[in-house]
Each structure stands twice: as structure tokens, then as C-alpha cells.
Structure 1
Amino acid sequence: MALITVSGYPSSGKTRRAGQLKTAFEARLQDPTYVGPKLKVVVLSDDELNISRDAYKGAFVFGFDLWPETDVLADSRSEKPARGALFTAMQRQMGTDTILIVDALNYIKGFRYQMYCAARELKLRVCTVYAVATTDLCKEWNKSRLDGHAYTEETLDNLLLRYEEPSSMVRWDSPLFTIPWIDAEIPADDIWKAITEGNVKPPNAGTQAVPKAPTDALRALEATTTSTVGAIMAEQAASGGLGGAVTLGISSEIVPSITLPPRNITLSELQRIKRQFVTVHKKAITLGTTEKGAVDWSEKSIAHKFAMYIEENLKP
């Protein structure tokens, strides 16, 4: 159904905003006047996955390290698997019957783009909620936490420096809803409209699985084109080069039609056209094809395509 990415400084109130969203959406879904599809609202967070705040202690900031290099390398390595665990859990939870709210730091724009692409693969609507608070407030709220999930001072300072603010100008952060700390309520109606009525963007071409040809496609391509050339030469010899519409009897099941020009076609001419055809289709077989739907690599299909290709290339 939809993916909502909650982003903001650490200890900026993201969890509160995610909770407000969940409450508002569940109330709407349970309203007797609601007539839409049956949906569930799920909030996914680091706390749900038992990801420690210490996992975000990576300390390289714009080429500078804040602690001795050995500590930095050890700390920064822990952040990647933490993001990986979050991303994997997000993929498991996403679905056409789920409004998924990801309540995590989501402070790296590259990671937000990765989440955006995953949602597009499933044709889900997306939006970003930006929980805004000043750095001083974040530090104050972090110190006052009593749930055992406070950041250390060093980690908090590091994350504040590394935060990459979402922008409505980029597609993976759009539509963007910015909610400052002074707002007691959230624009629940506008967010609901975005995730239920907004455009569903097609999957990114760069992330789509490329259909592969069957293992015998190269053999079928070579054998069928060779047989077609032989059938054309035999038909031409029988008709005396009169041309016109003919049916090539390659086999009992493969009988493509072709219109030949009223002249003698040389074998070298047909061999040249065959090489061109085979070269183009070999690339599609070995590298995959971006054509929509399944591509038919049967001998019958190849023969008909090759007959059309010859006909086009023999036109005066």
C-alpha cells in the first residue's frame, strides 16, 4: 500500500510523530464510514529490532575522525549491518495491504533512496515525514530520556553533523511533510491523501530483473536462421527468381511467409543479412532483454522474425 519514511535528527521526536501517524490512520480505518480496502498500520523501528544506539558510532565526518582510528573503524563497521537489518525487516513488512511507517534515523539520503526503490518495486506509494527540532533541543531531550535508549554525547554530536536533510526537490523524499517541534499535531489528512491517492511510480528500470533467454536460444537462433536461408535459396531455384509472396517450408511446424523481390537473391546477400540479425539477437540472449513481458525464443518465433527482417532488408 504505502511506505512512510520518518527522518530527523536523533532525539528529535520521530517516534512521537510515528505514533501520531499510526493512531490517526488506525482511527480512520476503524471509522464506520471508511469504505476502502482492509489495511494494517505497522511501525518499524530500531527498538523493534533491538538495534542498539551504539551501532551508530561511526565517526568519519567529511574526512575527519573524532576518535583514534582503530576505534573509528570498529564503530563505523557496526552501522552498516544495523542499516541492513532495518532494510531487510522493511522489505519483509512491505505489502499491498500494509501502511508501513519506518521510524529510524534514515539520515543518509542514499539509504532513503534505497528504501524508495524497494517501495517502487512493489508499486507502493511513498512519502517522507521530516521531524524538525533544533540541535539544542535534541541534546536536551536526549539527556532527559529515561527509556535506556539515549545516545552518548559523542555519538549524538557525530550524527548531528552527518545528517543529510531531506528535500522535496528529489523524488525519493517526495512528497515531503515537514513537521516542526512546535506543532502539536501532524497533517494526518494530507499524509493520508498522499499515500492513498498519490501517483504510483513504476519500478526503476535499473533495479528490475532482466528476463533471460533459455539455455538453447543461441543454438536455436543459429540453426533456424541457417535453415531459413536454405529454404529461400531452394524456393528461388524452384520459381526461377520470380519473387512474390511465398511460404517457406522449414519444417512441418515452421512455415513462415515472406515476400521476395522479383530478382535473383545471392547467397552472400542472405548470409550478410543473417549475420546482422544474429549479431543483434545474440546480445539480447547473452545480456538479457529489457522488453516488457516474456520474449519468445522458440524456433517458430525466430523464423518469423527473421523472415520479416529479410523482407525489410531486401526492399529496393
Structure 2
Amino acid sequence: MPLVVICGQPCSGKSGIAAKLFGLFKEVGLPVELVDEPSLHLDRNAAYTGVINEKNTRAKLKSQVERVVGRKRVTILDSINNIKGYRYELWCVARAAGTRYCMVHVDTDVATCSGWNAARPGSERYRQDIFDDLAGRFERPDARNRWDAPLFTLHPAVGTGCSSGGDGDENEADVLAAVVRAMTEDQSNHQARVARDLTPTMATANPALLATNTLHEIDQAAQEVVNAIMDAQSAAAGGAAEVVRIGGGAGSGGPPMELELRRAMTLAELRRHKRAFLKLATKITFARLQDPAAARRMFVDYLRSNLAADVAGGGGGYGGDIA
């Protein structure tokens, strides 16, 4: 289910908007998780005093969002979220989860926010220096950025707002209802296309879980190739082994493979190639490695490709068959 990110100046009325959205999602029968500083037992002044504390606060909020976001509940993040780079990170969290996302900007002018801050009880009030610092560094969301779209803007001081791409002021209740519709319904207009389920990519998706012994078997298969090359070079008195035959024994699953070596390879060089192959195999081709024999064949192909590139003067690279 979707991630709704609320941003705005300190004391701009974000928590009130979050509470209204919480109730609206409940009314349509959806479970809701509200993530904010109080839910993590963070004091607002201590949380934003100094760069380190502010960075830790953002990290804690993001970590909690990562834990609860998903298809089982609506997640509402109620915080300042004043840095556009941080909002991009939150968008990546939603994309990794394959869920919808929207930005709700609570747009209240700084003078009104300052007055509302001064009217709060002492324990809930920002210190003036912290308030001024946060207000001065706020980066307004822009609907042209994919991590700020769809963008819904609200003005609690006057009870109005506007939907993403909308013209003029709308009633606050209508804008909040539009947020719920964009996050829960399939619509045919442009706004709904922006508020579709995000698709995870290699950059945002979590790596697949490895089988219990797969990584060990890939490493062992690659090490067998390294040992065969070193043994062949030892038999050639440390020179180029010319042709190295790998595999072909009992349980190998096929005839031996041949690897042509025009020069001697050091153990350090072979280990470097092995590390690079393991990284490639586990991140890209893991699903296509059926057994150790396949891993040996792919590592031999990897070495052929890199050795051919060295001869051609083009540097390392893997162009072998990974089927």
C-alpha cells in the first residue's frame, strides 16, 4: 500500500493534516501506519540540534518507513522533510517496495508558522534558533520532480489547497479526498498515471536471497579453475601453460573445458578475476547458475573474455555467454 510523505515548514500544520488523512484512510477500510518524531520518542529540539542529530533523526525516520512500507498498510510520514535529496531517498524506498507514492506539501508562510510555534506549550515548541535554521533551509517541492509527484498542496491557515496539476484553490477536504483517491483507486486521468504503483529497478530493489550453499558452491567452482591453471603453469615450469584442461572428472557433468593461455597468470591476478566474477555471478547471473559445473563454465568464459580483451588492448570486460 502507498507511502504518503508530508512536508512543510516547522509548525505549519502538518500533524493536523496527517491526522485527517489517517482518518480518511481508516474510513475506506485501510490499515494505516503513522511515522513521525513522537512515535519514535524523539524530542523535536534535541532531534534537530546540530547537523549530526538532524542526520540521525532523518535516518531513524527513513529506517522506520522502510520497515513498515508495503502492500499491507498505508504509511504516512509526518515530518519536515525539508531536503529534496532526502525526499528522493523516500521515493526510492517506495519504488523498492513497488507501491504508490505521493507528496503532500503543507504550505504555510513562515510568519504564521512562527506565531503557531510561539503559541505552543514549552515542551512542544521549537527553540527560536532551531526554528529559524529549519525554516531557512526548507526546499520547496516541485511537481516536475518525479520524487515530488503527484504533489498536493494545502494551506491550513485558510483551509484551501490544490491537487497536482490543478488550477486555483480548492477546498481542503476535496484535496485530502483526492490524495486518498490517487493512492487507492485506478483512474484514467493523467494524475492517476503519475500515482501508479512504482516499479522496482536494479538500483532500488533489494538483492534476492541466496540459497544456503549456492555462494559457497560458486566460490568453490571458481577456485577449482584457479587451481587447475596454477597446476598447469607449475607443470610448465612457471611459463605459459598454453592450453589448460579443466573438469572432465567424475561428476563433472560433461567433457573437460579448454582454456588457452598465451602468458603466465599470477595467483594475485587470478584471485582478482575470481572476486570480480563472484560479484557478477551473485548480482546478475545467480538465477541462471544451476550447478557447480555451470559456474565453472561461466568462470572459464569470463577468463577467456578478459584475456582476449587484454590481448586486444581493450582492458577487462565480460562478454561471455551467461545463458
Under TM normalisation by the shorter chain, which class is it? 0.5 to 0.7
Q: CA 1:137 to 1:209, structure 2 compared with 1: closer, same or farther past 3 Å?
A: same
- Greater RCO (Cα-Cα under 8 Å, separation 6 or more): 1
1:10 is aligned to 10
Residues in 2 aligned to 1:311 and 1:82: alpha-carbon distance in whole angstroms: 50
Q: Does structure 1 residue 40 correspond to structure 2 residue 31?
A: yes
Contact 2:248 2:255 (C-alpha < 8 Å) held by counterparts: no
Larger radius of gyration: 1
2:43 is aligned to 52
**Identity %, equivalent residues:** 25
Match of 1:200 among 198, 201, 204: 198
| Structure 2 residues without counterparts, runs of 5 or longer | 161-171, 187-195, 230-245, 309-323
Residues in 1 aligned to 2:299 and 2:62: alpha-carbon distance in whole angstroms: 46
TM-score, normalised relative to structure 1? 0.67
Q: Does structure 1 residue 290 correspond to structure 2 residue 290?
A: no
The one-letter code matched in structure 1 to 2:178 is: D
1:116 is aligned to 91
User: 1:276-315 alignment to 2 at 5 Å?
Assistant: 282-286=275-279, 289-291=282-284, 294-296=287-289, 298-302=291-295, 305=298
Contact 1:227 1:250 (C-alpha < 8 Å) held by counterparts: no
1:270 is aligned to 260
User: 1:1-316 alignment to 2 at 5 Å?
Assistant: 1-29=1-29, 39-55=30-46, 57-58=48-49, 75-146=50-121, 148-181=123-156, 182=158, 183=160, 184-196=172-184, 197=186, 198-203=196-201, 205=203, 208-209=206-207, 214-215=215-216, 217-221=218-222, 223=224, 250-256=248-254, 270-271=260-261, 282-286=275-279, 289-291=282-284, 294-296=287-289, 298-302=291-295, 305=298
Q: CA 1:201 to 1:207, structure 2 compared with 1: closer, same or farther past 3 Å?
A: closer
Q: CA 1:153 to 1:279, structure 2 compared with 1: closer, same or farther past 3 Å?
A: closer
The one-letter code matched in structure 2 to 1:3 is: L
Residues in 1 aligned to 2:51 and 2:14: alpha-carbon distance in whole angstroms: 23
Contact 2:143 2:149 (C-alpha < 8 Å) held by counterparts: yes
Residues in 1 aligned to 2:145 and 2:285: alpha-carbon distance in whole angstroms: 27
Q: CA 1:219 to 1:41, structure 2 compared with 1: closer, same or farther past 3 Å?
A: closer
CA deviations 1:161-188 (Å, max 9, x no partner) are 0111112222222222122333132523
Contact 1:211 1:288 (C-alpha < 8 Å) held by counterparts: no
Instruction: State the superposition RMSD in angstroms.
Output: 4.0
CA deviations 1:245-286 (Å, max 9, x no partner) are xxx99134334479x9xxxxxx8x73359x8x9986652215
Contact 1:133 1:180 (C-alpha < 8 Å) held by counterparts: yes
| Structure 1 residues without counterparts, runs of 5 or longer | 30-38, 59-74, 229-247, 261-266
